[in-house]
Amino acid sequence: MRVADLREGVRARADARRRYALRLLDSGSRPDDAIAAATASVELQSGEPPSTDLAWSHAVLARALLSADRPEPAWEHARTALRIARELHDGTPPAAGSVEYRNLNGVCADALITLAFCARMEGDPAGARERLARAASLAAASGDRVVELRTVWNRGVSFVEDGLLDAAAEELAEGARRAVGYGLTWGGYGLEFRVAQVRVAFQRGAWDEAARLAGEVDPALPLRVTGMLAVAGALVTVGRGDLDAAERLLTALRAEPPAHDQATLLQGVVGAESALWRGDPATAHERVGAALAVLRGEYPHHLGELALCALGAAAQADLAATARAGDRDDGVHRRAAAGLAAAAAATAEHGVPRGTAIGPEGRAWLDRAHAEAARAVGGADPTVWDAVVDGFAGHGDGYRAAAARWRRAAAYLERARGRRAGSGVPDHDDAGTADRRAAAADLASAADEATRLGARPLAAVVADLAVRAGAPARGSDAGTAGAVHGGGAPHAGPSPLTPREQAVLEQVAHGLTNRAIGEQLFISEKTVSVHLSRAMAKLGASGRAEAVSVAHSRGLLPPRPRRCLERKPCPLRSAGGTPGP
């Protein structure tokens, strides 16, 4: 721009600012600077006769305003761009196929895409689809590759927002194919298409496809170019339990700040989920906070806050559970979780798209933020997870629906335990029978989905909860749990202990009291005492410590997880503090 100001005329100076604004918009950063540059481009031409350049400046300014969640002025400038283009066409119709003809078609298509977004914000999806269809026709006639790709991109995004993931996958694949054909594989929309393909494949449960797409990288390219694609692929890496690989990638990406808002969001989500599965909610909290700070510095109420706030609330819920297990005050964590849920609600109300409801994925994340805030309080209300399960399942994200089923199952079991404690009736004949059955159904469904995806961390915690609830672990999940939690020593022969007696003895080996064991296994303190007495009798032990020693020597108990040996309370065993995103 400085060179144009020194050497060129008004139109060249305006053109330089318009191109600079486009560059900023493509990078996904500094929307205020993009607005300033596009505004200057329009103002420089205010004394000039109407031209295609002026129409383009208005169209780019409309895009910039829309990116900053300012739909009213965006609408005005997009309509101005269309009006100027039509006046030029009607005044002196350009020859079909000429440069001017293609240019006018291009600016009209670009303006219509912006107007389609504005219509969607105003709650007019039919009008949005009609404008996108007209934009697609004009883009094809324009020969403008960027406008053409923007049209395909926005159709794909509209499918994602409506929860039509299969249609979105097809549209994004078509966009990626066109971008490759135009030599734009690793820049602008080309990279955006590839990242979106990975994210949609992950949500659809096509994890092998997502990993393949994320791995199709030219090794000659630097990480600053391919990093956003790599971190999108790390959603699968974390989901399948290769947390060391995910951490190595995050460390490499921290070498330079993310150049795109989606990169910031993905690094925050991947980093938080990796830390949560490691049983390190404090680090998850820090990573969420860092990502939120970056997004809020440029975008008020960025919709990515919904996922980040939900994961941050999950971290606070884990921290609160650990505090309660150690008889410490959990108030700071409860308040932090509530604050994150409130921030998610504010984003849903004020963020883009405004004037209409957020999409099914956004609603599911919002509902999860509220459910995690309720978990932080320590209540046992499984109904708070209903909307989370239904939301993610309805969106087509079976993995996150399965994770919500696991949390709901824990709430069912906790409520059943509370009912038993309050009624004083035997465990096998209590008012919580329906809750235990509902929990079993949720755990079975979650285990099936985790096994299908190869989601080892989720499979492990689902199997662990099933065992604690007194149900035998499903075959494949039991093996997965052993791999994650350390596995047991080989038995010298058939165990004399029932599954419940062995579960109680495992908790005794961790140093838990009968009351704490009851909370872990969702049974009464009296029932714990009965199971422990029977186990001691079968092992010929006179006390708790001797029973544990004999069981270890006979290979009846697994070794304690390394993390549990290093610190207390153990994150795998503290009440409600099972690691997980």
- What single DSSP character describes residue 30? -
- What single DSSP character describes residue 206? -
Asked if 563 and 577 touch (Cβ cutoff 8 Å), the reply is no
CA distance 382 to 441: 13
- The series of mean pLDDT values per 10 residues for the chain, 581 residues long, is 66 89 81 92 90 95 88 92 93 88 93 89 81 89 88 89 91 95 88 96 98 91 89 98 97 86 95 97 98 90 95 98 91 98 95 65 97 93 97 96 97 83 50 86 97 97 89 48 38 72 87 84 83 88 86 76 39 50 78
For 204, the token pair is: 């659809």
**Per-residue confidence (pLDDT) for residue 224, from 0 to 100:** 82
CA distance 172 to 161: 13
Count the residues in the chain.
Answer: 581
Nearest to 497 by CA among 565, 460, 550, 458: 550
**Per-residue confidence (pLDDT) for residue 431, from 0 to 100:** 56
For 223, the token pair is: 């990480």
CA distance 28 to 195: 14
Radius of gyration of the chain (CA): 28
CA distance 441 to 436: 9
Asked if 307 and 363 touch (Cβ cutoff 8 Å), the reply is no
For 194, the token pair is: 């590839």
CA distance 372 to 368: 6
For 451, the token pair is: 């096994």
- What single DSSP character describes residue 560? P
Listing DSSP states for 45-98 in one string gives TTTSPP-HHHHHHHHHHHHHHHHTT-HHHHHHHHHHHHHHHHHHHHHSPPPTTS
CA distance 418 to 431: 10
Asked if 50 and 84 touch (Cβ cutoff 8 Å), the reply is yes
Helices (H), 351-397: 360-377, 386-395
CA distance 581 to 202: 16
For 45, the token pair is: 């031409």
Asked if 570 and 546 touch (Cβ cutoff 8 Å), the reply is no
Burial 48-73 (b: 16+ CB within 10 A, else e): eeeebbbbbbbbbbbbbbbbbbbbeb
Nearest to 565 by CA among 573, 556, 557: 573
Q: Burial level of 199, CB count in 10 A (0-12/13-18/19+)? A: buried
Torsion of CA 474, 480, 484, 487, to 10 degrees: 70
CA distance 558 to 485: 9
The helix or strand, by DSSP H or E, that contains position 270, with its residue range, turns out to be helix 261-277
Domains, the chain, ordered by start: 492-558 (1.10.10.10)
Asked if 260 and 226 touch (Cβ cutoff 8 Å), the reply is no
Nearest to 139 by CA among 170, 102, 168, 188: 102
Asked if 31 and 61 touch (Cβ cutoff 8 Å), the reply is no
